[in-house]
Amino acid sequence: MTDAGTFTSKSPRPHKRDAAEQAKGFAVACARLMADFNCEEVVIFDVRGLSEVTDYVVIGTGTSDRQMRSVAEDLEDIGKEHDFQRYGAEDDEAATWIAADFVEVVAHLFEPATRAHYDLEMMWGDAPRVSWHRG
């Protein structure tokens, strides 16, 4: 950027489309990681235009608090690989719900009863689902 605040050819401005594709690719990577570590019922919702705070919501069900904590740590690692920094993380003491916030992508790991109780699928039911399974 020049002193006047304009972009130069040396500092290209990222295109919105490229940023959206990067976020979608990261959401897919999160879903695949969850599935690879035996999380169940993994889904991705494209909430662009529906949410003011994120573009993609990834939800998976864990089988134990240990597994969920391990997956959350690995999500942070793949975030770095995709140039997404973890903005925040929330979990309860018993690890029945872990939320990993990467701003454009928010990943939720639930134990089954907590997932059923909060029912985020109902909340985002109008949002398109993103296909993430490997060919």
pLDDT tens sequence across 16-75: 678 889 999 999 999 999 999 999 999 999 999 999 999 999 999 999 989 999 999 999
Q: Are strands 40-46 and 97-101 parallel, antiparallel or unpaired?
A: unpaired
pLDDT at 2 over 60: no
Please check whether residue 37 is in contact with residue 69, taking contact to mean a CB–CB distance below 8 angstroms. no
Picking from 57, 58, 59, 61, the residue whose alpha carbon sits closest to that of residue 40 is 61
Read off the tokens for 94. 């018993």
Q: Are strands 56-61 and 105-110 parallel, antiparallel or unpaired?
A: parallel
Give first-to-last CA distance, the chain, whole Å: 42
d(CA 63, CA 39): 7
Using a pLDDT cut of 70, give the percent of the chain over it: 84
3-state secondary structure of 28: helix
CB within 8 Å of 14: residues ≥ 6 apart: none
pLDDT at 9 over 60: no
